Amino acid sequence: MKNTPFTQKHIARGAKMAEFAGYNMPISYTGINDEHAAVRKNAGIFDVSHMGEFMLKGEKALDLIQRVTSNDASKISDGQAQYSCLPNEEGGIVDDLIVYCIEKNKVYMLVVNASNIEKDWNWISKFNTEGVEMHNISDKTCLLAIQGPNATKILQPLVDTDIMNLKYYTFTKGKFAGVDNVVVSATGYTGSGGVEIYFEDKDGAAEKIWDAIFEIGGPQGLKPIGLGARDTLRLEMGYCLYGNDIDDTTSPLEGGLGWITKFTKEFTAKDILQKQKAEGVTRRLVGFEMIDRGIPRHDYLIKDESGNTIGKVTSGTQAPSLGKAVGLGYVATGHSSLDNEIFIDIRNTPVKAKIVKAPFA
């Protein structure tokens, strides 16, 4: 099991640690509800250094990205980022990722899910037939996400660029807490604003940045946050989690990701997905909220009022901000309309819910 440069910091702060994607990660500190509220109302810091980062360089870098991703990366310029996915040859999803344009047409950073680093690297490499320079910088890259409505205000004194006005899905690069070449981006996974910072841990940079953030943020109520609250925060926003809500067997059109599937270029499985768009999909990922008492869990069956199985829950929780249980799941298209009543099979008991539009919060 791998450690991040911040593992001992988590342990020192009393975090409950557990294995996640091969890393020893903090699951919670003071409790999921407390940490969740800190991010929604103020600010919290997540160690997400387990995520993967690839650098792609060269005259054909954009061509390779266009070939393997569903979105149109030609639309982004220096300092902009884009959410996308890697379709497989059957129209499923190898992974979802964020593409960062460092230098248009020539230098890009791809940020991928921790559990898929090797898989994604091998997949992209398979299509690299024109000599694009590829570097897997995952092991030497630190990533902290400081999220919440007050996050940028707290951090601004540490940064030599303006992050208070950093637009969604853009980034800047500069000095952070005296450390050079830190990328600060606004591509958060919580729906509460904030930034992420990428940097290499050399010359004690990780400890220096962590300590500086808590020195300035601690008196203002900033708290360390574990992966438990990260999951409840993203689920309240209806954001997909790879391995739960999307995977190799789900297409981006089924998963509600048609908006990142652009048919104006050639990419893997374009014809399959274009056919799906024309003919319609047989199932859709929907959001739902519980009407009757019960918490939906991954893989619980979804049924209609006659008891017929129409789908399956992919993610579910008691939403701390809402005081009710919500979830995501795939249902047959004919049952996917808003306000349609469905039933979640919880320990062989049908528990009523209704389909609603995400985000829930």
For the segment 182-208, the average pLDDT, to the nearest whole number, is 97
Q: CATH 2.40.30.110 residue ranges in the chain?
A: 282-356
Continuous H helices in 167-241: 205-217, 227-236
According to CATH, the superfamily of the domain at 7-49+139-236 is Probable tRNA modification gtpase trme; domain 1 (3.30.1360.120)
Contacts of 225 by beta carbon, 8 Å cutoff, 6+ apart: 29, 35, 38, 39, 44, 45, 46, 147
Given the structure tokens 């898929």, which residue do they identify? 116
Assign 332 a pLDDT band (cuts: 50, 70, 90).
very high
The per-residue pLDDT for 361 is 84
| Nearest partner of 25 among 147, 146, 115, judged by Cα | 115
Buried b (16+ CB within 10 A) or exposed e, 206-242: bebbbebbbebbeeeebbbbbbbbbbbbbbbbbbbbb
Taking residues 325-345, what's their average pLDDT? 98
- Please say if the pLDDT value at position 305 is more than 90: yes
Protein fold of 282-356: Elongation Factor Tu (Ef-tu); domain 3 (2.40.30)
The confidence score (pLDDT) of residue 131 equals 96
CA 105 – CA 174 distance, rounded (Å): 22
Can you give the pLDDT at residue 342? 98
The whole-angstrom separation of Cα 258 and Cα 192 is 24
Instruction: Assess whether pLDDT exceeds 90 at residue 7.
Output: yes
- Residue 29: what pLDDT? 98
Q: Tell me: pLDDT of 18 over 90.
A: yes
Question: Are 296 and 331 a contacting pair, CB within 8 Å?
Answer: no
In the numeric block, the tokens 């149109």 are attached to 72
Give me the chain's average pLDDT, please.
97
**pTM for the structure as a whole:** 0.96
Kindly report, residue by residue over 34-83, the tens digit of the pLDDT.
Answer: 999 999 999 999 999 999 999 999 999 999 999 999 999 999 999 999 99
For residue 171, pLDDT over 90 is answered with yes
CATH 3.30.1360.120 domain extents, the chain: 7-49+139-236
SS (H, E, C) 32-52: HHHHHHHHHHCCEEEECCCCE
**Which of 322, 357, 326 has the alpha carbon at shortest distance from 36?**
322
Residue in the structure block whose two tokens are 């054909």? 60
d(CA 74, CA 61): 11
For 259, residues 6+ apart whose C-beta sits below 8 A from its C-beta are none
CB of 57 closer than 8 Å to CB of 257: no
- In which band, very low, low, confident or very high, does the pLDDT at 111 lie, cut at 50, 70 and 90? very high
| Region 6-31 average pLDDT | 97
223 beta partners: 44
Looking at the DSSP bridge assignments, the partners of residue 225 are 46
> What is residue 237's predicted lDDT score, i.e. its pLDDT?
97
